[in-house]
Amino acid sequence: MYAISLGDGAELRPLEPWHAEEFLAHLERGREFIGRFIPFGSQAVDLPSARATLQRYADMRAADTASYHGIWLDGKLVGGVLTLNFDASTGNAEVGCWLEPAATGRGLITRAMRILIDWAVEERGIHRVEWVAASGNTPSLNVARRLGMTRDGVRREAHPYGGVRHDLEVWSILAPEWRQARARAAHDDH
């Protein structure tokens, strides 16, 4: 198992089926907040369904089409980042995230996403990394901006959720742009 430090007592680790109890407790703490714009975790309502959700992603990881990575803060699961629609043969992948309220405002998602995108681009040869978020999800859109992504456009009223049709913003970054953004960030850190 790997654990990558995100600083400030936070780590990025694989999120596996054996984490089902911890995953369910995490979702219960943040379900309303996490589910404001997407039904993330809505199928995980008890231990068997939480395990099934994590197993589905473990199976997709094995098939090389998606993956879950948890963020632990001081030893407690508080959120995560994921890949989906991952296609190394075409060099395209989508990324996403979730976080419970108590862990917001610390930069955890941005730091974890930098690791995930770096892996996708440098290790897996992904050329285009896409981010899709509801237009009203300002924190998510702010992460896309911090990562150096470009807003490609808006899919108007494309996402019916919670009795409302939400606009979806599509953001992306291409491998050469990612490398430039990473180099700028490294330069700014020194």
Task: Report which of 99, 105, 97 is spatially closest to residue 8, judged by C-alpha positions.
Answer: 105
Give the pLDDT confidence score for residue 66 in this predicted structure.
96
Q: How far apart are CA 79 and CA 77, in angstroms?
A: 6
Give the pLDDT confidence score for residue 92 in this predicted structure.
98
CATH code of residue 79: 3.40.630.30
DSSP 17: G
Q: Which pLDDT band holds residue 1 (cuts at 50, 70, 90)?
A: low
Per-residue pLDDT tens digits for 117-174: 999 999 999 999 999 999 999 999 999 999 999 999 999 999 999 999 999 999 999 9
Per-residue pLDDT tens digits for 26-69: 999 999 999 999 888 889 999 999 999 999 999 999 999 999 99
pLDDT at 189 over 80: no
This prediction has a pTM of 0.93
Measure Cα distances from 190 to 46, 145, 179, 183 in Å: 47, 21, 17, 11
Task: Report which of 142, 10, 27, 15 is spatially closest to residue 76, judged by C-alpha positions.
Answer: 10
- Could you tell me the residue range of the domain that residue 123 belongs to? 4-189
Measure Cα distances from 127 to 72, 75, 92, 120, 183 in Å: 29, 34, 6, 9, 17
Question: Tokens in use for 4?
Answer: 């990558």
DSSP 152: E
